[in-house]
């Protein structure tokens, strides 16, 4: 009888232990999301569809994030927004995204409006702005824009450097007849001469080479306050619920940034971006001329970039693009990036640039003068 009781008791313990293990396993599976949703503040182009000009573009093209989570059967869903940063903010507000690739201004607007996000790594920084006009235009400098119909995409990371550039020439947006157009529409409007000028990025070089535009200004070689900054952010909710998956996401992008930052891969990086059709290989070479890839594709939120974001918050408030300021230092969360850099042994691969200074290298020649006229300012 005692033997039977012992056997029954032992069987009960084993059954209970089995249930406990099953419950533990179920919780372990639930600890990883079934899907990770990534928003991109840009439409996709080319075949297969893709983006360009950043480490996240390389991560997308190579499937680096998908490879990281494949063993866990976690699906990566990409969402590309023609409405750029403002559209991404709306999706974040509706809790439709976990991560987002955005520029500084739209993220600042979202944060100031109450979106609970944190910046986790830089992706494409110090990107140049360009000012293009029709070939026969009498506009020769930024000062000549007064009273003209000028297009640019409001609410994106180009607006702040444009506003700063105008201020440096004694102008504000109110001195112009500003037309809020997305990239494709503004280029079409310039081609048909429905506008007098357009501010944009590297893609305006393509219009110049087609003979339908003349570039009268570029921030190449100018102050870094006239450049654009981009990053990856994560929602507070996702980072708190899935810290391990957040770290691994960052690690996957850092791997892509490491490969992209190696100038031995310079040609292949540009070819990969050129496949989207937004710019040709030679246009990427021109835009990046004089700059090592490590400068533009560093993932670090170093003192230099942190200062740029603090300055962006101040200017966004000054230009009345946001109603309240907030501390940038508490917005940036370096913990996931630091962990990834340590795991990949890349702590010293990218130089941390001090505030207010840009790295220089004797191996790169200065940028050439802008075709069609000297750089203004």
DSSP for 238-292, please give it. HHHH-HHHHHHHHHHHHHHHHHHT-GGGHHHHHHHHHTTSSS-HHHHHHHHTT--
Q: Which CATH superfamily is domain 35-125+229-343 in?
A: Periplasmic binding protein-like II (3.40.190.10)
Token couple for 289: 């001329």
| First-to-final CA distance of the chain | 99
- Whole-number CA gyration radius for the chain: 24
Question: What topology is assigned to 130-225 in CATH?
Answer: D-Maltodextrin-Binding Protein; domain 2 (3.40.190)
Residue 368 has, within 13 A of its CA and on its CB side, a CA count of 7
Phi, psi dihedral angles at 52 (to 5 degrees): -150, 170
Its pTM surpasses 0.75: yes
Question: Which stretches of the chain drop beneath a pLDDT of 50?
Answer: 1-2, 4-13, 15-30, 359-377
Q: Would the CATH topology of 35-125+229-343 be identical to that of 130-225? A: yes
pLDDT in tens, 24-80: 444 443 488 999 999 999 999 988 899 999 999 999 999 999 999 999 999 999 999
Dihedral angle over CA of 319, 323, 325, 330, nearest 10: -120
pLDDT at site 364: 26
pLDDT in tens, 108-134: 999 999 999 999 999 999 999 999 999
For 315-327, give the secondary structure using H, E and C: HHHHCCCCCCCCC
Domain boundaries, the chain: 35-125+229-343, 130-225
Q: How buried is 39 (Cβ within 10 angstroms: 0-12 exposed, 13-18 middle, 19+ buried)?
A: buried
Could you write out the DSSP letters of every residue in 163-190? HHHHHHTT--GGGSEEEE--HHHHHHHH
pLDDT at site 357: 55
| CB-CB contact of 229 with 308 (8 Å) | yes
């Amino acid at each position: 009888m005692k033997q039977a009781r012992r056997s029954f008791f032992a069987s009960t313990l084993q059954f209970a232990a089995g249930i406990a293990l099953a419950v533990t396993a179920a919780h372990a599976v639930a600890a990883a999301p079934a899907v990770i949703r990534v928003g991109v503040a840009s439409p996709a182009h080319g075949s297969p569809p893709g983006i360009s000009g950043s480490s996240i573009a390389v991560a997308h093209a190579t499937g680096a994030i998908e490879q990281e989570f494949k063993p866990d059967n976690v699906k990566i869903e990409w969402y590309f927004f023609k409405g750029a940063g403002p559209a991404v903010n709306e999706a974040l507000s509706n809790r439709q995204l976990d991560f987002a690739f955005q520029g500084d201004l739209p993220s600042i607007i979202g944060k100031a409006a109450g979106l609970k996000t944190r910046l986790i790594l830089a992706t494409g920084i110090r990107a140049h702005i360009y000012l293009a006009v029709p070939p026969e235009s009498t506009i020769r400098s930024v000062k000549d824009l007064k009273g003209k119909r000028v297009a640019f995409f409001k609410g994106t990371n180009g607006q702040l450097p444009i506003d700063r550039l105008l201020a440096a020439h004694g102008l504000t947006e109110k001195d112009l007849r500003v037309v809020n157009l997305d990239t494709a529409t503004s280029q079409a409007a310039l081609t048909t001469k429905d506008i007098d000028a357009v501010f944009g990025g590297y893609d305006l070089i393509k219009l110049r080479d087609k003979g339908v535009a003349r570039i009268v200004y570029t921030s190449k070689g100018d102050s870094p306050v006239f450049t654009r900054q981009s990053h990856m952010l994560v929602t507070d909710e996702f980072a708190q619920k899935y810290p391990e998956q957040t770290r691994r996401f960052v690690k996957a992008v850092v791997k892509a940034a490491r490969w992209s930052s190696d100038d031995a891969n310079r040609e292949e990086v540009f070819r990969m971006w050129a496949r989207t059709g937004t710019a040709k290989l030679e246009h990427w070479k021109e835009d990046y001329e004089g700059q090592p890839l490590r400068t533009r594709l560093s993932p670090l939120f170093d003192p230099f970039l942190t200062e740029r974001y603090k300055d962006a918050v101040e200017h966004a408030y000054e230009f009345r693009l946001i109603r309240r300021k907030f501390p940038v230092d508490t917005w940036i969360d370096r913990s996931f990036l630091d962990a990834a850099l340590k795991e990949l042994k890349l702590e010293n691969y990218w130089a941390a640039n001090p505030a207010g200074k840009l790295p220089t290298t004797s191996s790169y020649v200065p940028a050439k003068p802008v075709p069609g006229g000297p750089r203004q300012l």
